[in-house]
Amino acid sequence: MVKDKQLVLTANMKNYNSACHGFRWDSVFKEISFFKNKKINAAYNAIDRHAEDWRRNKVALYWEGAEGQKEKHTFQDMKHNTNKFANMLKKYGIKKGERVFFFLPRVVPLYVGFLGTLKTGAIAGTLFSAFGPKALQDRLENSEAKFVVTNNALKGRIYKIKNKLPKLKKIIIVDGARKKGEIDYLKEMEQASRDFKVAEMKLNDYAFMLYTSGTTGKPKGVVHCHEAVIQEHITAKWTLDLHPEDTYWCTADPGWVTGIAYEILGPWSNGISQVVYEGRFDPNKWYSIIEDYKVTVWYTAPTAVRMLMKYGTELVKKYDLSSLRYINSVGEPLNPEAIRWGKKAYGLTFHDNWWQTETGAQMIANYACMPVKLGSMGKPFPGMTAAIVDDKGKKVPVGQEGNLVLKPKWPSMMRWVWNRTDKYKSYFQHGWYISGDKARIDKDGYFWFIGRADDVIKTAGERVGPFEVESALVEHPAVIEAGVIGKPDKLRGNIIKAFCVLASGYKPSKQLEKELAQFVKKHLAGHCYPREIEFRKTLPKTRSGKIMRRVLKAQELGEKIGDTSTMAEY
């Protein structure tokens, strides 16, 4: 276990066991603003209520563009601008429950528009700016989106498929309309009233939706309701340990659920000042952002941590990162080596957590008030019941691997898969929500990720979690990233094959392959070592940083890769 030096601020969650004891979700209600008859609006909670108290002139958003542009927006500014956007939508006929999708990079109108949409009672959806026409068509066609908000650089992809989208009525251009029929965001925002009566929504009224890809079939639209803000609020406070005086930076894109739950709704519901950077990953730029804005709480992805590792601790020393007090990671399990490196580089321990698009908020996490076990997911959030069960839904003994499940329902739980009720129902079996992940629990109640249910490798009668092998490989100084799959083998059923990205100064060789195989055999187990190793410059990953093992496997076996719309460039 590792534990940080005494933090400057006392943790919001002072004792895990005490927080769990007798926890009820309605105990969080006192921190949430409701209208009459228990009506709610997630956007009102994130912005307006702070614009109506002492935080009105507090900076809500520090925005820095890819070209170095800088903007500041207070909570009062955000209230007025989100109201203007809501009025724009109303002017053009948006109705409760209709879908408004955002196809934008991390620019200010994305954040303003998302919240403005929620204020009208319409459903907001987000799309990665790297999506091509086919990925856009799948999502906009299935959701029957009425409005798309985009810019001049990206709109061409929409026009390529517009004739296949009969429900799409309006295209809003945030950097000035140049084509007949487009709505000019800048002009409309200038003319719109800054006053708006926020729609009072039921807890289970739909608020936002995201599309997530599976191993087969088209992406599925996961729908969340306004009630989700309750759980996003308290998890941001307890898991990310956000305090009023913090400056927070989440590196996620809002095309991913983390960018909505923990870059829009959760932190702002807590009245936190946060930084958004539009540009691509660059270690010098990232460190300068932490230094310039005096970031105190940082939430990033394992891929980013490993990329920073590649540049070493010497680069860290060139910047003043002393403002950092608490650092977090999400996207896939963070390898122990990366946590050790973070401690060496920043003097702080990365706190990993586990959740999914479908869960809407952090489910299992490492908290400021308890020691971190290297590589562990942590413990369930108060109010959540997590368990490891067999295929019949019965709990398995401590230490035994099984299916990671959660007891429904919780405030941020998805409420539907758009137009696929049967798919939605398939998530719930034997009284549990089935995550599709394999894990185990130890005697201290910590959960340990093993892999996706369809990723676990059975070799010579033994079950091997790819994450364990990947973790062992990146412990070797030659390996920066690793992806592991099971490759069919007549003798053993499957053999383990590893795909490795090498650190600077190392070159592929047969000798290095043997060295890595022996290293894993020594550090993990005799049956767990990769019998084949392939060196690559990059690995296929989602934009949230998860290594796409199914893509590696399809490439290896010469099969169709399937949906790649959420895959980052590589």
Domain-located, residue 119 = yes
Cα–Cα distance measured from residue 542 to residue 323, given in angstroms and rounded to the nearest whole number: 30
Q: Which of 441, 470, 492 is the last residue of a domain?
A: 441
For residue 409, cis peptide bond before it (omega within 30 degrees of 0): yes
Query: Do residues 382 and 505 both lie within one domain?
Result: no
Give the pair of three-digit tokens for residue 177.
Answer: 């309309």
Closest by alpha carbon to 400, among 450, 357, 331?
450
Would 448 be classed as within a structural domain?
no
Q: Are 529 and 521 in contact (CB under 8 A)?
A: yes
Closest C-alpha among 127, 112, 123 to residue 46 = 112
Same domain, 527 and 409: no
User: What sign has the CA pseudo-torsion 165, 168, 170, 175?
Assistant: negative
Of residues 174, 57, 44, the one with CA closest to residue 109: 174
**In this structure, are 90 and 189 located in the same domain?**
yes
- For the chain, what is the domain count? 2
Q: Specify if 91 maps to a domain.
A: yes
Which residue, 393, 411, 441, sits at the end of a domain? 441
Same domain for 380 and 493: no
Range of the domain at 90: 16-196+203-441
Let me know whether 218 and 71 are in one domain: yes
Tens-digit pLDDT profile for residues 227-246: 999 999 999 999 999 999 99
The answer for residues whose C-beta is within 8 angstroms of residue 475's C-beta and 6 or more apart is 335, 336, 337, 519, 523
Radius of gyration for the chain, computed over Cα atoms and rounded to the nearest angstrom: 23
Q: 437 with 460, same domain?
A: no
Is there a single domain that holds both residue 351 and residue 486?
Answer: no
For residue 305, count other CB atoms closer than 10 A to its CB: 22
Stretch (H or E) spanning 75: helix 75-91
Count Cβ atoms below 10 Å from residue 400 Cβ, excluding itself.
Answer: 11
Indicate the residue type of 403: N
Measuring CA to CA, how many Å separate 524 from each of 452, 484, 507? 19, 14, 24
pLDDT in tens, the chain (570 residues): 544 544 568 999 999 999 999 899 999 999 999 999 999 999 999 999 999 999 999 999 999 999 999 999 999 999 999 999 999 999 999 999 999 999 999 999 999 999 999 999 999 999 988 888 888 998 999 999 999 999 999 999 999 999 999 999 999 999 999 899 999 999 999 999 999 999 999 999 999 999 986 545 678 999 999 999 999 999 999 999 999 999 999 999 999 999 999 999 999 999 999 999 999 999 999 999 999 999 999 999 887 898 899 899 999 999 999 999 999 999 878 889 899 999 999 999 999 999 999 999 999 999 999 999 999 999 999 999 999 999 999 999 999 999 999 999 999 999 999 999 999 999 999 999 999 999 999 999 999 998 877 777 878 766 677 887 898 899 899 999 999 999 988 777 889 999 999 999 999 999 999 999 999 988 776 778 999 999 999 999 887 788 899 899 999 999 888 777 767 754
The CATH number of the domain where 543 resides is what? Answer: 3.30.300.30
Residue 440 has what DSSP assignment? E
Let me know whether 233 and 344 are in one domain. yes
Distance CA 135, CA 144 (A): 14
CATH number at residue 414: 3.40.50.12780
Verify that 302 and 324 share a domain, yes or no.
Answer: yes
Q: CA 523, 547, 126 angle in degrees (round to 5)?
A: 150
446 inside domain: no
Backbone angles phi, psi at 6, to 5 degrees: -55, 125
DSSP-assigned beta bridge partners for residue 328:
299, 351
Q: Considering the domain boundaries, does residue 330 fall inside one?
A: yes
